[in-house]
Amino acid sequence: MAIRILIAKPGLDGHDRGAKFVARALQERGYEVIYTGIRQTPKQIAIAAVQEDVDFVGLSLLSGAHNELFPKVVEELHNAGVSDIVVFGGGVIPQSDIEFLKSKGIKAIFGPGTSIKTIVDFIENETKSRNSKIG
Amino acid sequence: MKLNQEIQKLVDGILKKDMRSIAKAVSFVENSDYKTKKPFLQAIFPYTGKAKVIGITGLPGAGKSTITDKLIKAFRDDGKSVGVLAVDPSSPFTKGAILGDRIRMQNHTLDKDVYLRSMASRGALGGLAQTTKDALKVLDASGYDIVIIETVGVGQNEIDIVKIADCVVLTYAPGFGDEIQAMKAGVMEIADIYVVNKADRDFSQKLFKEISDIVNLSSKEPKPKVLKTIATNPYEQSNIGYLKEEIVKYIDYVETSSNLKKKRISFIESELIDTLTKIIIDKTLQNQNVKAFFDKKTIDKIYNKELNFYSIIDKIMEAI
Amino acid sequence: MSKNGYKNWQEKTLIPYIKKNPTRKEKFHTSSYIDIKDLYTENDVSDYEQNLGYPGQYPFTRGPYPTMYRGQHWTMRQYAGFGTAKESNERYKYLLKQGQTGLSVAFDLPTQIGYDSDSPMSEGEVGKVGVAIDTIDDMETLFKDIPLDKVSTSMTINATAFILLSMYIVVGKKQGVEKKLLRGTIQNDILKEYIARGTYIYPPKPSMRIITDIFDYCAKEVPKWNTISISGYHIREAGSTAVQEVAFTLADGIEYVKSAIEKGLNVDDFAGRLSFFFNAHNDILEEVAKFRAARRIWAKIMKERFNAKNEKSQMLRFHTQTGGSTLTAQQPENNIIRVTLQALAAVLGGTQSLHTNSMDEALALPTEKSVRIALRTQQIIAYESGVANVIDPLGGSYYIEHLTDTIEQKAWEYINKIDELGGMVAAIEQGFVQKEIQESAYHYQMDIENKERIIVGVNSFQIEEEPPKDLLKVNQQVSIEQIKKLQQIKSQRDNQKVLKSLHLLKDTIKSNDNVMPAVIECVENYATLQEIADTLRQEFGEYKESVVI
């Protein structure tokens, strides 16, 4: 069964090099990746996630608006009636903001310099623990 | 027929057009084997057959997603609800896929009467996932008036779309150096409408003429239309509006001329054969007597010509 | 040195030595994957003197001016802006006091994309990556006590450049400074937005119309203004190689010149005010060669393809920024060293103006202290290192000349390919440019993952470290303050006048006349940035990206 991951860029930031790299690298590891492109509102991202029935949502943001927009995405997912999609994020995010973001429902933050292996390990671990819950 | 609770919930959900249920149902038919999903498909079968199905196909870069995006708007302006299945190829090596068609249509995400879903082909040839047909049934039963299936055309393998779409639109764009693609007989026969997109580019007129000439030789009834579009033009609802009109006209025509019924009957026939084929093959391969022939020793002997390939087939046929 | 000298050296000295002392790697290449030999000799460069020329003379390989830094140093121009106009104004005054010689304005994303601070699209973004400008009122505050006849100001603004330039002109007017005295630059390079940066609004054709309107208007009314900064920086940041950076930037330039000429402008009337903007990346010798190759290629393009007669039209002048994407969040002090080397490369390459990144920029906007160090980096190079005392010091180096030739040759291949595709706009629509960049970016990143490419502190020489303290935190109240101000202005201005001027702008768009005068009038009447941008949105529609992964 394929794992489906939505990669999205909320807000106005147009720097998509990282998002595209992660999307491609995940595809090369066997995931089905839906990429929404740039300039997405939190609501658009949440509804896309529901329609695509993804297991993960990855958010990329480099403009400093992560503390406002990442929690908004989680909120919109709740509004849409979904709470089991795992949300992670990356971009220019100072370590000091990570605790706040985690408290708002973002499961992991992958800052500058993170290797793709770290992200893939995270996804695999989350998938395993979700499967054992269903199992 | 008593359905298990989970499946009943799904059925109830999609009949209410609940987006979450629809999404879950599509995943369900994508991921489940025939045995598991049969009760579900059986339960929704009575509700299918109402949606008009449009196939948009063509080479990558022809502008299918942009055209689909504008078509959605054109049908919405008519008050129709629209479901979209955008199919992209999975990598044969990694089994993964990047599904990027949604980008062009994201502005419809907040419209409650539009449902967008990206599907990976998951190894199926023919541009469509094997499960696309089942996903289509979900959207059909959910009550969408129009379902658009967008698929990558890479050549002769587009024939699958012909087995499920009421109207097939084949999209071209100039400048690919692949005008020769246009000539490949198999592909050219499949479409009901031809579109030359990016019609503001060099060589678009040449391409338009080439396609029109070939279409003129077609014996199809009615003769397929050839249209020009510039899908990205922002003023341009009107040329896509024109495409929409031709699609509607085509479907109306086939409906009233009972060609639609003929088409749909042939769809049923081919799907019957496809489904039965798959069931029978799966069943056969799981048969212990058959499995016995698939051990390494036997295969080695065939390689060494100690056993005759065709004799083995005879033996397998006797065993089932 | 004879032709056989190199061969002799290899056979007699090198190969025997390598047998006992192997080289670190089998093969070596530049950061952009150009192969590097062990040694370069006169045999690797042919007639380079012919191709080279002299500084201030066609083809300008050694520099656009006859004296270069012996005349004056490059402009030290630190990109800055954040929060409110008031806070940015304070930072500008600080930088000018510390010896910076030109201003460079960073705008927030809503301003760049034509949204006011109160738009729902602006949520979370107001004042974050630059200053928030909603009306002329903000612009006046931004330049309070900064006399516009005494500074040159570079504004990093693209889709809404026509609005910000209009605002700058009006601020000048209010200060009593005539248009013809204003000096500065607007980035105004929409093509690279489609390729790499993402702050576009309108589709290519109408965007080109606005850009050429600006060329035309400034040629007549604001003659000292650089009307465009054709940019390779962002293309490089998106992951391209050095060759692609040069090729795609110059191909963009070709498209702009073509458009202006098609509009009816005479090439020598506007080409002298075109400027460029490049990246200074980490392979410093490759970067020096890159800058020199860029100058030579552009000179040839302007002279041979566009028949520019004036030397000013043929000389490529550029601003450089050190490569932001090379900075690391790990061990941030290391970034000071990276920036120093990159800045040196820019100077050895003959840049006209330079921004050096601050060490904390992998994580946040710079603090006062870190931006001061970045500025000092330039000042130490300028005053202490000696490299500014001679022109094109690396000229004549076998390696540098060979690399310059190689980069030029490979760039021409791309430029010709793009011509075949129908020009840059067509190439972008077909996704060709984006695909090339994607591939390079992917290759670069995978090399990092595989440790083929070492990033000190990230995939090697790591330490356990505490997260950095004292990062700049942008004032959270900015959006609240801006929204309040907007409400105030909208209630106090003459709304009839605003509507009238917006209507006039709409007519101007439809009639194909130059938009600038109409925009200036809207700005003077306190029309907001978004009101103006939306007027064009209604006529032109919005661009949708063609994504290539």
Distance between CA C304 and CA C373 in Å, rounded?
A: 44
User: Which amino acid is located at C468 in the chain?
Assistant: P
> What is the predicted pLDDT for the residue at B217?
81
Starting at the earlier edge strand, list the strands of the sheet with C228-231: C75-76, C353-355, C318-322, C274-280, C228-231
The confidence band for B312, taking pLDDT boundaries of 50, 70 and 90, is confident
Range C409-429 average pLDDT = 94
Between chains, do B202 and C422 touch, taking CB under 8 Å as contact? yes
**Can you tell me the distance from the alpha carbon of A95 to that of A110, in angstroms, rounded to the nearest whole number?**
10
Q: How many residues does chain B have?
A: 320
Does residue C132 contact residue C111 with C-beta atoms inside 8 Å?
yes
* CA-to-CA dists, residue C410 to C245, C290, C436, angstroms: 11, 11, 14
Tell me, yes or no, if C249 comes closer than 8 A to chain A by beta carbon: no
Question: Tell me, what's the pLDDT at B159?
Answer: 58
Per residue, what are the HEC states of C443-502? HHHHHHHCCCCCCECCCECCCCCCCCCCCCCCCCCHHHHHHHHHHHHHHHCCHHHHHHHH
Residue B153 reports pLDDT greater than 80: no
pLDDT of B199:
76
The C-alpha R_g of chain A, in whole angstroms, comes to 14
Average pLDDT, chain C: 94
The string of DSSP letters for B21-72 reads HHHHHHHHHHHS-HHHHHHHHHHHGGG-S-SEEEEEEE-TTS-HHHHHHHHH
**Out of B124-128, C25-29, C504-508, which region has the weakest mean confidence (pLDDT)?**
B124-128
With contacts defined as CB-CB under 8 Å, which chain B residues touch C544? 66, 69, 103-104, 232
Is residue C153's pLDDT more than 70?
yes
Chain B residues touching residue A47 (CB < 8 angstroms): 19, 109-110
Mean pLDDT over residues C147-156, rounded? 94
Which is higher by pLDDT, C387 or B195? C387
Q: Which residue in B230, B223, B165 sits closest to B195, CA to CA? A: B230
Its ipTM equals 0.94
List CB contacts (< 8 A) between A32 and chain B.
90, 96-97, 99, 120
Kind of pairing, strands C228-231 and B97-99?
unpaired
Q: What is chain A's mean pLDDT, rounded?
A: 94
Query: How many CB atoms are located within 10 Å of the residue B256 CB?
Result: 9
Number of Cβ within 10 Å of residue B261's Cβ equals 11
| Predicted structure pTM score | 0.90
By Cβ distance, the residue of C122, C330, C474 closest to A64 is C474
Residues in chain B whose Cβ is within 8 Å of chain A:
19-20, 22-24, 26-27, 31, 90-91, 94-100, 102-103, 106, 109-110, 115-118, 120, 122
The C-alpha atoms of residue C266 and residue C261 are separated, in whole angstroms, by 6
Q: What is the pLDDT of residues A4-57, one digit of tens each?
A: 999 999 999 999 999 999 999 999 999 999 999 999 999 999 999 999 999 999
Residue by residue, DSSP assigns A62-126 as: -SS-HHHHHHHHHHHHHHTT---SEEEEEES--GGGHHHHHHTT--EEE-TT--HHHHHHHHHHH
* Tokens linked to A31: 């995931």
- What mean pLDDT do residues C321-341 have? 96
CB pairs under 8 A between A and B: 82
Hey, are the CB atoms on B27 and A37 less than 8 Å from each other? no
Phi, psi angles (nearest 5°) of residue C279: -95, 145
Q: Are B207 and B194 in contact (CB under 8 A)?
A: no
pLDDT category, B176, cuts 50, 70, 90? low
Q: Tell me if B232 and C431 make a contact (CB, 8 A cut-off).
A: no
Per the structure block, which two tokens stand in for C379? 């000042």
Q: Which residues of A touch B (CB under 8 A)?
A: 1-2, 23-24, 26-37, 40, 43-44, 47-48, 50-53, 80-82
Give the pLDDT of residue B248. 87
Nearest-angstrom CA–CA distance, C233 and C275: 13
User: Which tens digit of pLDDT belongs to each residue from B118-141?
Assistant: 999 887 766 676 789 999 999 999
Average pLDDT over residues C530-539: 96
How far is the C-alpha of B144 from the C-alpha of B83, rounded, in Å?
A: 6
Instruction: Give the per-residue pLDDT at B222.
Output: 78
Mean pLDDT of chain B: 85
Sorting pLDDT into bands at 50, 70 and 90, what band is B174? confident
Long-range contacts of B60-64 (CB under 8 A, 24+ apart): B60/B152, B60/B154, B61/B173, B61/B176, B61/C430, B61/C431, B62/B153, B62/B171, B62/B172, B62/B173, B62/B176, B62/B197, B62/B198, B63/B171, B63/B173, B63/B197, B63/B198, B63/B229, B63/B231, B63/B232, B64/B101, B64/B150, B64/B152, B64/B171
pLDDT surpasses 90 at B180: no
Nearest CA among A25, A19, B91, A95 for reference residue C198:
A19
- Closest chain A residue to C330 measured between Cα atoms? A113
Chain B residue closest to A27 (CA)? B96
B133 or B3: which leads in pLDDT: B133
Q: Which residue of A has its CA nearest to C451?
A: A115
Which contiguous run of DSSP H or E holds residue C271? none
Per CB-CB distance under 8 Å, the chain C contacts of B98 are 549
Residues of C in contact with A38 (CB under 8 A): 198, 545
Contact A36, B103 (CB under 8 A): yes
Q: Which chains touch B (3 or more CB pairs under 8 A)?
A: A, C
**Residues of chain C neighbouring B89 (CB-CB closer than 8 A):** none
Task: Report yes or no: B163 at the C interface, CB cutoff 8 Å.
Answer: no
Least confident of A55-59, B218-222, B291-295, C88-92: B218-222
The answer to whether the beta carbons of residues C530 and C522 sit under 8 Å apart is no
Specify the amino acid at residue A31. Y
CA-based nearest residue to B35, from B10, B7, B13: B7
User: Can you count the helices (H) and strands (E) in chain C?
Assistant: 23, 12
* C422 contacts B235? CB cut-off 8 A: no
With an 8 Å Cβ cutoff, the interface of chain A facing chain C consists of 11-17, 20-21, 23-25, 35, 37-39, 41, 63-69, 72, 92, 94-96, 111-113, 115-117
pLDDT for res B291: 85
Rg (CA), chain C: 24
- Whether B156 has a pLDDT exceeding 50, the answer reads no
pLDDT at C240 over 80: yes
Chain B residue numbers with beta carbons less than 8 Å from the beta carbon of A34 are 99-100, 102, 118
Radius of gyration of chain B (CA): 22
Ranking A13-27, B51-65, B188-202, C19-33 by mean pLDDT, the lowest is: B188-202
Best C194, C200, C430 residue to mutate vs chain B (most B CBs within 10 Å): C430
Beta bridge partners of C230: C276
**Do residue C449 and residue A115 have CB atoms under 8 angstroms apart?**
yes
**Per the structure block, which two tokens stand in for C507?**
């007519």
C182, pLDDT greater than 60: yes
A124, A85, A123, A135: which is closest to A105 by C-alpha?
A85
Pairwise CA distance, residues C150 & C92, whole Å:
14
